[in-house]
Amino acid sequence: MTARRAVVTGLGIVSPVGIGADATWDALVSGRSGIDRITLFDTTPFEVDVAGEVKGFDATQFMEPKDVRRHDRNTHFAVAATGEALRDAGLLGDDGHVNGDVDADRFGMVFGTGIGGIGMLLDGQKTLDERGPRRVSPFLLPHMLPDSASGQVAIQYGIRGPNMAVVSACATGGHAVGEAMEAIVRGQADIMLGAGTEAPLVPLAFAGFGQMRALGTPRDPDTGEYDAAMASRPFDATRNGFVVSEGSAVLVLEELSHALARGARPIAEVIGYGSSADAFDMAAPAERGEGNQRAMRAALARAGIGPDGVDYINAHGTSTPLNDKFETMAIRDVFGEHADRLAVSSTKSMTGHAMGAAGAIEAFVCAKVVSTGCIPPTINYRHPDPELTLDYVPNEARAADVRVALSNSMGLGGHNSTVILRRFEA
């Protein structure tokens, strides 16, 4: 029996650097930052006032106004990115549902989020405090849950197969793409969405990250002048914290023979997936990225390739001192001498850190890298850290023959996920 293969046939994204795949990719390869002052709430009391906010997004372009009012912003992003991915894959019918010639019972999704509908939750608490329990919305509970986005996506597009929402903090998006691949390979579905979504830009979450002293400061490290775009500078010696961001990315994964039978165009192939836990600390990464190492090794084994088979790594690269140091160590420990031949970049330098959506956004990047032969840069890289000596593709995009790309994601609680994508070859 021929082994089942999971190929990517559609991409959709809503990100701080662009709404849609073309706009996002153009910004990333141009080195444009989406990090700017927050407009969603008053930042006067906060020490840091920047984020990767999705600007100019109108949810009513993608959902009925009544549904927009009832759902959290993270669901708005999910519906929008899914619609683009389905159109890209040739799966969206004229009625707005999945094409009638596709078996919707064999079409599912793993749609992850780290925080879920936190905006709705806080609005509900405010209503309870100010107006009493009888004024709380009946939509609050079903629409604030982590699976609200996956539920609404299924309803809006008529997707009736396996449906789940994974939650593993900042490793969520990688887990979603990997588990979607596994559902196809084991024969549970013919088409799956591997996706993540997040909308954490609310005062409470921002205050919490601030109290952790985890946020990067919007200052030019050389001049001390205010510069929002300089807040995220992964692997740079002056890095001092990450930038919270929002958005959603959706990959349509499809069993290869199913895709070819309907004339779909494979963009890339998902060939490896690994997952691990640090079992070390709720916030700090394990020494030398030991948990990340095990996830990468597991993904390589699942893909059936050795370390020298990887050409590019989209790093977790958050711009925090310990993450970037230990991820670099993990890459060196796993890849040995081949580490010096790898291109490694962090697109979080431009997008910020979209938490549960980050792994899906970066899987989107890997799919584009292997299909276009262009590697987006790590911007704001001015001061090499003598301890971090990989090729971080500094400041400018690079044309390269990338056949295999690996994406790392790590989350609070010690969660790790790694996915590997390959250029599609028949």
Active site residues per annotation: 170, 316, 353
Which amino acid, residue 293? Q
Q: Is 258 helix (H, G, I), strand (E, B) or coil?
A: helix
List the one residue out of 156, 154, 127, 153 whose CA is nearest residue 139: 127
8-state DSSP, 353: B
Query: d(Cα 88, Cα 161) in Å, to the nearest integer?
Result: 20
DSSP per residue, 72-134: -HHHHHHHHHHHHHHHHTT-B-TTSSB-TTS-GGGEEEEEE-SS-SHHHHHHHHHHHHHH-GG
Bridging pattern class, strands 343-345 and 374-375:
unpaired
Query: What does the buried/exposed string (b/e) look like for 276-304 if buried means 16 or more CB atoms within 10 Å of the residue's CB?
Result: bbbeeeeeebbebbbbbbbbbbbbbebbe
Q: How buried is residue 65: exposed, middle or buried, by Cβ count under 10 Å (0-12/13-18/19+)?
A: exposed
List the one residue out of 305, 45, 294, 316 whose CA is nearest residue 169: 316
List the one residue out of 148, 118, 163, 115 whose CA is nearest residue 358: 115
Main-chain phi, psi angles of 8, to 5 degrees: -90, 120
* φ/ψ bin of 247: left (φ > 0), alpha (ψ from -120 to 50), beta (otherwise): left
CA 198 to chain centre: 9
DSSP per residue, 298-338: HHHHHHT--GGG--EEE----S-HHHHHHHHHHHHHHHGGG
